[in-house]
Structure formats: structure tokens, C-alpha cells
């Protein structure tokens, strides 16, 4: 039965049914030419008799012959012609009967020729005018055919518009209301095993898989499965992959579409496409509808202000709300999954129970998650024995799964470029540094004076990081230019995953940032533009301590700035008076000056270590973190070997082992990611320094 319906559908969608007017035009043209071929114009007026000056046809009694004009005049003079018809361009002469047959001679008229009429009168031959026009041909070629040509052109343009707008059958005017061409329908083969990390997110959507696989188990108990699940998280964390994995595990149809595909210049098109989307899903149920970047149509209707917002977007949203209220998951199991980086801008009606009543956070992976993701992506990569994925995971703290996949691919490309048989650990380190700091610019030529400034600057960062409690340990120091503006950088690697930052750790971060400028002042005697980004980030940290985290006496516990768009870098909204702003500015300036003096003294106390470190950097350009610690110790400095993270060690059950009573380790909602979002600005605008600080405060770079 289905095969018959498919065949009928194919027959209805053939060329003749899709283009009836164009087919009619072609048929008309063919008919005209066939008519002209069967009844040539030469026969019009042929077989004529001259009786009382009249011309009468005598079909079947004459033959046609085309002659030259001069020959026609000779025939007239010879007396063989009975009647001559003179037209604007032709002269036709009918011969006298010869054996019951007449011959019609046709010649192209030569104008002017005043002798023709005289010759006819001299020979006593009747003559008259003839009409050379063909009325039927004039109507067809002069009126009907041009009209159909314009219609055919209009149909062609309409067809092109229909295709460009994704229209299909049943899509309204030109088919622009249909969403068939914009929906990617498939049965994914992706499983949960193909998506490493984010165990909590996979556990949250597992019941969706169970419901689609065995809905009767839930229906008989009276349970109602969520109609919609909203996946939120930073870019590149695998929200789309998770949605495909849900469909793959449940072995159901997966209909994916982007939120922007619903918006067109025509009002009402988006609503029509939403209806069409849900109709298709019901036909292939059980199924999953996945709407990527739903914030394109789901933005709060209050965001337009008192004058309202975008009418087309709001109509599309209203239709989506109505569809999610109107369909029953028991009758046709259809689950709506959506992904966004901006959950805070979504309309409250979209997030209420009965629609998207569950939000699943797909966050950046932790240390163990990064190891799992690396293992997934290296399946087809030939690795050397010296590659340590744990070390790579430590160096890539704060990066998303897409970043890790890119690092592995970049390492493989570097190994192939060097004509290696295997990807080595050095390739991974170089790939990580490319991801964080940019491409190494070995060809960039800088003067010896600038190299000396950069070396002292980076040595200052490295030394303060190693001698300050709460600072992250140095992994590598380099004065090789990288990226667009970086003349050097200091790479810091955390000891373990951290979710909170204490006040002394923030102060330590400020000290490390100030170390580069302080080293220039102490050892060069003059400051440069290389610390521009360092000062900017240090200012942001001190300001956040006072305005967001309540770590000063200026505002006490009052929050002065609110955070939005946490997954897209973060934006702040200030809410305080001018007097408070003045006090805040004074506090930031005084705190920075105070910390700067402390850093200056620390550098003076360790001047021998700075000199030796700078000398080595100028010679070999790159030194490791272990070498930095050795230099400090050799010159009498004190290095914090292991940072005392939040006082006590934590066992595998997340319990403090050194206290008298075990206390569960708390995870405050304002984690380290909030701290870094308040201070992480793009470092590529600095004149001579780039400083990179990955999310969750896992990794730092101080670059000139």
C-alpha cells in the first residue's frame, strides 16, 4: 500500500504536473509550427480565378511555383497570365488553364517598379491587391505567445524563490511556509559511549531514552514524561552530540532544525513551519525534535520594551508554545530537545512545567572528563609511547570537548608535517600552546633590547608565581613570540581541579600579574607597554572582589554588579551610586599600589634568581617550570612546592580527612568560573603582551 502511495506521489510530482502552463506554451508553439508546415502561407490566395475582378479559390486545381521577378514579367508579356495579385512584398500571378491545371507563380516584388501596372494594362490582364497577413498567425505570435512567455518567466522565478525559501508541497504561497527542506531527519548511530564526560547530563536524559523505548512502563503508572528538555552550556561542550546520542540510544527518528530557520521576511512563515515540524514528527513517532539555538525564536517577549518586539519572532514563539501544549506524548511519543548558550534570555512561558520543564547543564569537562574525551578522539591516531594523556588533560583545564578534539587533530597535523610515523608528546604540547597562545612566530624579528625587556618581564611573572602562596605553578616560560601580539608568555598549570577561589588566591593572582611590570621597573629602570593587559586583568580582579564577592569594606556584603550571559563570556550590569563608584575606584587604586610595592620588594629580595633566569631565557628562549624552581632554590629563594588548597586534603568520598569531624566539601554556586569570567578579557588587544587565563582558573599565561 505504501509503495502504491509512493508511486502515486511520484506521478503527481512529474514535470507536466509541476509546470502545466509551461507545458501548454510548448504545446502551442509546436502546434503553430505544425500548422505553418501543413498550410504554408503560399497557399493563402492560391488557385485564384479572375471573374469580374473577383478572386476565388480553386483548391486541388493549381500548383505553386516560385519564380524571379524578371521571369514573372516575361510571363505577363507572353500572355500566359490570367490574373495578377499585387501585395506589399509579393506578386502572385495565376496562369491561364492548361489542360485543366493552373499554376500560381509567386515572386518577390521589386519596389519601385512603375512598369508593372503599365505592362498588365497593355496585355489586358486583370490585377488587384492581395492581403499577405495571416490572421491566425498574427493572433498567435502577436498576442498569445508573448503572454505565455511572460507567464513562463514568472513561473521560473516563482520556482526559484520557492526553492531558495525551502518551500515544498503544502507550504502556502510559493511553498514558503513548509519546513520540509530545512529539517534534517535521520536515525543517528551515535551512542552515549561516543560522548565522553558529562556523566550527570547523560544520567538526566537517560529516562527520555527509556520512555521512547518502552513508554507503556511509564504510562501504566500514570507518570508523565517531560515534553521538553533544554540543554544549556558553553559553546563546544557537546549539546548537539548529546541530543543525537539520546535518539541513537532510543533508536528513534531525529528531526533537527536550527532556530534561525523559522524566521523569514514574511510574517507568519515561522508559525507555519512550526506547525509543519510537529506534524512531521507525529507521523514518524516515536521521534525527537531537536531545535538548536532556540534563543533565536525563544527570546523573552518583554525584551522588546514597551513598544513590543519582533512580530514575526513573537508569532513563531506563540505557535511553538501552542504546539508544545497541544500534543500528547502518550498518543505519539515525541520529545522536544533544545540547546542554547543563553538560557537567561528565554521567555518564562517557554520554561514553565509542561513545556521545557527540565534544564540539563552540559558544562565543560573536569579533569577525568577531559581524559575520557581525549581517549575517544585518539582512537584513530597513532600515538607514541611517550604521550601521557593525563599530562595533556592537566594542560587543557577549562577547555571544551571541541577544543580537545581540535588539539588532537592539530597534534596529528604537526606530526605529519614533520614526517613522523607517530604523534609524540612534544606535538601535543605544541598543539596545546597553539590553542592557548597562538601560532609561534619564529620569523618575527625583535631587537636585543626588546628581548631583554621580555625576558625580565616573564621572569618576574614566573618568580612571583613560585614564591607566592595560592598562585598556580609555572609549567613553561618562553620569550618566543606567539599569536598576534604576544612577545612571550608564562604558562601556568594547576595542581588539581578547583571550584572555589579564596581571597588569598585572588590576591596571589594579582601579585603574579603585577610581577612583569615590577620586574621591568626594578631591573630595566623603565616601564614599557608590555604590562597593559596584566594591569587590566589585575584591576578587574580587585574590582570583582569588592563589587561581586564582598571581599572588602567598601561595599561590605552588598553586590554592586550583576552577571549575565555566563556561558558567553559574561556581561556585567552596574547598580551603584556615583559616591560608591568613587570609593570603589579609590579602593582599587590603593590596593593595586599596595600589592605592587610588595611585589617590588619580593623581586629585589630575589634579584639573583631573576638575573639567572633572564640570562638563561636570552640564551635558550624557553625554560621549563621545573628549571624555574631550581633557579629560585639555588639562589636562596623559597618555593611553595604544593599549594595548600583550601586547607585540608580531600579523600575520594569528598570528605575532609584532617578534621576531627568529617565535613562534606561544599561547592558554592559562585565558583572559580565566575571569578575568571569577571577578569577574563581578550588579550589580543595588548600592544606587546597576551595573557590567557582558561575558565575555572585552571591555566594561566602571562605574555608580552
Q: Parallel, antiparallel, or unpaired for β 489-493 and 561-564? A: unpaired
pLDDT of residue 648: 44
Of 188-192, 303-307, 312-316, 317-321, which gets the smallest average pLDDT? 303-307
Q: 694 versus 102: which is more confidently predicted?
A: 102
CB-based contact 42:64 (threshold 8 Å): yes
> Rounded distance, CA 277 to CA 546, Å?
50
Provide, rounded to the nearest whole percent, the portion of the chain with pLDDT above 90.
Answer: 13
Give 3-state DSSP helix, strand, coil % of the chain, rounded to 5. Answer: 50, 15, 35
Q: What is the 3-state secondary structure (H, E, C) of 164-232?
A: HCCCCCCCCHHHCCCCHHHCEEECCCCCHHHCCCCHHHHHHHHHHHHHHHCCHHHHCCCCCCCCEEEEE
Structural element, H or E, at residue 57: strand 54-57
Residue 342 has pLDDT above 70, yes or no: yes
Span 50-76, average pLDDT: 66
Residue 2 banded pLDDT, cuts 50, 70, 90: very low
Span 134-163, average pLDDT: 70
Size (the chain), residues: 704
pTM score of the predicted model:
0.62
**CATH code for the domain defined by 367-437:** 1.10.8.60
Span 381-394, average pLDDT: 87
Architecture of domain 448-703: Up-down Bundle (1.20)
Span 109-127, average pLDDT: 82
Query: Which residues, 6+ apart, have CB-to-CB distance to 39 below 8 Å?
Result: none
Which cell numbers in the block locate residue 303? 525584551
**3-state SS assignment for residue 427:** helix
User: What rounded mean pLDDT belongs to the chain?
Assistant: 75
Span 358-379, average pLDDT: 87
pLDDT of residue 701: 43
CB-based contact 486:499 (threshold 8 Å): no
Of 5-14, 198-207, 494-503, 527-536, which gets the smallest average pLDDT? 5-14
Of 305-309, 314-318, 686-690, which gets the smallest average pLDDT? 686-690
pLDDT of residue 692: 37
pLDDT of residue 20: 59
Residue 513 has pLDDT above 80, yes or no: yes
Task: Return the domain boundaries, the chain.
Answer: 45-133, 180-361, 367-437, 448-703
pLDDT of residue 680: 39
Q: Parallel, antiparallel, or unpaired for β 334-340 and 228-232? A: parallel
> Rounded distance, CA 265 to CA 257, Å?
18
> Rounded distance, CA 133 to CA 148, Å?
22
Residue 107 banded pLDDT, cuts 50, 70, 90: confident
pLDDT of residue 174: 42
How many angstroms separate the first and last alpha carbons of the chain?
A: 73
Query: Which of 293, 458, 521, 703 does the annotation list as catalytic?
Result: 458
Structural element, H or E, at residue 412: helix 401-417
pLDDT digits (tens, 9 = 90+) for 598-613: 999 999 999 999 999 9
> Rounded distance, CA 470 to CA 399, Å?
22
The CATH number for 180-361, chosen from 3.40.50.620, 3.40.50.300, 3.40.50.150, 1.10.10.10, is 3.40.50.300
The dihedral over CA atoms of 113, 115, 117, 120, expressed in degrees to the nearest 10, equals -130
Span 578-588, average pLDDT: 89
- As beta bridge partners, residue 474 has 492
pLDDT of residue 588: 93
Residue 569 banded pLDDT, cuts 50, 70, 90: low
Which of 259-263, 276-280, 308-312, 686-690 has the highest mean predicted lDDT (pLDDT)? 276-280
Span 504-525, average pLDDT: 92
The dihedral through the CA atoms of 541, 542, 547, 549 has a sign that is: positive
pLDDT digits (tens, 9 = 90+) for 651-686: 444 443 443 333 333 334 334 444 343 333 333 333
Residue 702 has pLDDT above 50, yes or no: no
Residue 176 has pLDDT above 50, yes or no: no
Residue 646 banded pLDDT, cuts 50, 70, 90: very low
pLDDT of residue 696: 39
pLDDT of residue 458: 92
Residue 455 banded pLDDT, cuts 50, 70, 90: very high
> Rounded distance, CA 487 to CA 438, Å?
11
Which cell numbers in the block locate residue 290? 531537536
- Residue 672 bears catalytic tag: no
Residue 700 has pLDDT above 70, yes or no: no
Question: What angle do helix axes 578-605 and 532-547 make, rounded to 10 degrees?
Answer: 130
Residue 391 banded pLDDT, cuts 50, 70, 90: confident
Domain 45-133 fold: 3.30.720
Q: Parallel, antiparallel, or unpaired for β 62-66 and 561-564? A: unpaired
Which of 253-262, 411-420, 440-449, 493-502 has the highest mean predicted lDDT (pLDDT)? 411-420
Span 60-87, average pLDDT: 82
DSSP tag of 442:
T
pLDDT of residue 650: 41
pLDDT digits (tens, 9 = 90+) for 323-337: 887 665 556 678 889
Amino acid at each position: 500500500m505504501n509503495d502504491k502511495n509512493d508511486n502515486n506521489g511520484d506521478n503527481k510530482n512529474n514535470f507536466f504536473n509541476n509546470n502545466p502552463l509551461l507545458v501548454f506554451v510548448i504545446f502551442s508553439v509546436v502546434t503553430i509550427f505544425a500548422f505553418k508546415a501543413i498550410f504554408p502561407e503560399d497557399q493563402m490566395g492560391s488557385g485564384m480565378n479572375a471573374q469580374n475582378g473577383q478572386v476565388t479559390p480553386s483548391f486541388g486545381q493549381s500548383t505553386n511555383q516560385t519564380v524571379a521577378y524578371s521571369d514573372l514579367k516575361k510571363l505577363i508579356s507572353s500572355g500566359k497570365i490570367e490574373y495578377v495579385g499585387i501585395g506589399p512584398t509579393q506578386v502572385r500571378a495565376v496562369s491561364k488553364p492548361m489542360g485543366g491545371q493552373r499554376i500560381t507563380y509567386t515572386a518577390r516584388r521589386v519596389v519601385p517598379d512603375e512598369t508593372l501596372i503599365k505592362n498588365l494594362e497593355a496585355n489586358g490582364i486583370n490585377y488587384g491587391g492581395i492581403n499577405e497577413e495571416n490572421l491566425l498567425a498574427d493572433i498567435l505570435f502577436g498576442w498569445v505567445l508573448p503572454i505565455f512567455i511572460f507567464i513562463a518567466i514568472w513561473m521560473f522565478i516563482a520556482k526559484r524563490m520557492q526553492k531558495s525559501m525551502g518551500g515544498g508541497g503544502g507550504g502556502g504561497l510559493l511553498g514558503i511556509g513548509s519546513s520540509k527542506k530545512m529539517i534534517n531527519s535521520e536515525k543517528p548511530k551515535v551512542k552515549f559511549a561516543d560522548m565522553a564526560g558529562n556523566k550527570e547530563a547523560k544520567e538526566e536524559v537517560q529516562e527520555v531514552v527509556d520512555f521512547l523505548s518502552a513508554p507503556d512502563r511509564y504510562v501504566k503508572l500514570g507518570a508523565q514524561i517531560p515534553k521538553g528538555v533544554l540543554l544549556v552550556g558553553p559553546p563546544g561542550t557537546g549539546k548537539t552530540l548529546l541530543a543525537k546520542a539520546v535518539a541513537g540510544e532510543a533508536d528513534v527518528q531525529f528531526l533537527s532544525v536550527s532556530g534561525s530557520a523559522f524566521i523569514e521576511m514574511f510574517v507568519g512563515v515561522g508559525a507555519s513551519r512550526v506547525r509543519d515540524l510537529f506534524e512531521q514528527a507525529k507521523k514518524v513517532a516515536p521521534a525527537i525534535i531537536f531545535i538548536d539555538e532556540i534563543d533565536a525564536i525563544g527570546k523573552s517577549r518583554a525584551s522588546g520594551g514597551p513598544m513590543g518586539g519582533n512580530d514575526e519572532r513573537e508569532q513563531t514563539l506563540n505557535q511553538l508554545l501552542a504546539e508544545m501544549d497541544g500534543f500528547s506524548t502518550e498518543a505519539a511519543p515525541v520529545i522536544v530537545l533544545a540547546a542554547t548558550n543563553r538560557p537567561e534570555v528565554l521567555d518564562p512561558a517557554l520554561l514553565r512545567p509542561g513545556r521545557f520543564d527540565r534544564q540539563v547543564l552540559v558544562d565543560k569537562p573536569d579533569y577525568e572528563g577531559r581524559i575520557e574525551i581525549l581517549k575517544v578522539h585518539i582512537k584513530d591516531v597513532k600515538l607514541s609511547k611517550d604521550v601521557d594523556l593525563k599530562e595533556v588533560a592537566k594542560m587543557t583545564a577549562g577547555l571544551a570537548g571541541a577544543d580537545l578534539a581540535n588539539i588532537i587533530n592539530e597534534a596529528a597535523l604537526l606530526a605529519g608535517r614533520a614526517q613522523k610515523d607517530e604523534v609524540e608528546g612534544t606535538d601535543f604540547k605544541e598543539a596545546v600552546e597553539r590553542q592557548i597562545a597562538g601560532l609561534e612566530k619564529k620569523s618575527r624579528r625583535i631587537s636585543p633590547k626588546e628581548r631583554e625587556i621580555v625576558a625580565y618581564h616573564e621572569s618576574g611573572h614566573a618568580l612571583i608565581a613560585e614564591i607566592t602562596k595560592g598562585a598556580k605553578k609555572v609549567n613553561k616560560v618562553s620569550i618566543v613570540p606567539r599569536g598576534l601580539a604576544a612577545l612571550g608568555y608564562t604558562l601556568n598549570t594547576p595542581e588539581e581541579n578547583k571550584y572555589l577561589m579564596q581571597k588569598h588566591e585572588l590576591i596571589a593572582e594579582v601579585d603574579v600579574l603585577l610581577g612583569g611590570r615590577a620586574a621591568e621597573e626594578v631591573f630595566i629602570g623603565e616601564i614599557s607597554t608590555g604590562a597593559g593587559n596584566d594591569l587590566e586583568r589585575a584591576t578587574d580582579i580587585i574590582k570583582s572582589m569588592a563589587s561581586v564577592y564582598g571581599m572588602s569594606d567598601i561595599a561590605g556584603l552588598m553586590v554592586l554588579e550583576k552577571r549575565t550571559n555566563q556561558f558567553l563570556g559574561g556581561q556585567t550590569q552596574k547598580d551603584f551610586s556615583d559616591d560608591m563608584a568613587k570609593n570603589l575606584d579609590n579602593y582599587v587604586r590603593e590596593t593595586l599600589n599596595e600589592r605592587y610595592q610588595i611585589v617590588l620588594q619580593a623581586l629585589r629580595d630575589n634579584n639573583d634568581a631573576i638575573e639567572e633566569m633572564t640570562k638563561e631565557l636570552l640564551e635558550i628562549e624557553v625554560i621549563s617550570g621545573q628549571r624555574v624552581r631550581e633557579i629560585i632554590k639555588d639562589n636562596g629563594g623559597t618555593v611553595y612546592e604544593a599549594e595548600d588548597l583550601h586547607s585540608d586534603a580531600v579523600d575520594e568520598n569528598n570528605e575532609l580527612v584532617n578534621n576531627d569531624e568529617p565535613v562534606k566539601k561544599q561547592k558554592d554556586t559562585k565558583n572559580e568560573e565566575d571569578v575568571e569570567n569577571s577578569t577574563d578579557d581578550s588579550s589580543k588587544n595588548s600592544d606587546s603582551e597576551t595573557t590567557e587565563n582558561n575558565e575555572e582558573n585552571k591555566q594561566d599565561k602571562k605574555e608580552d
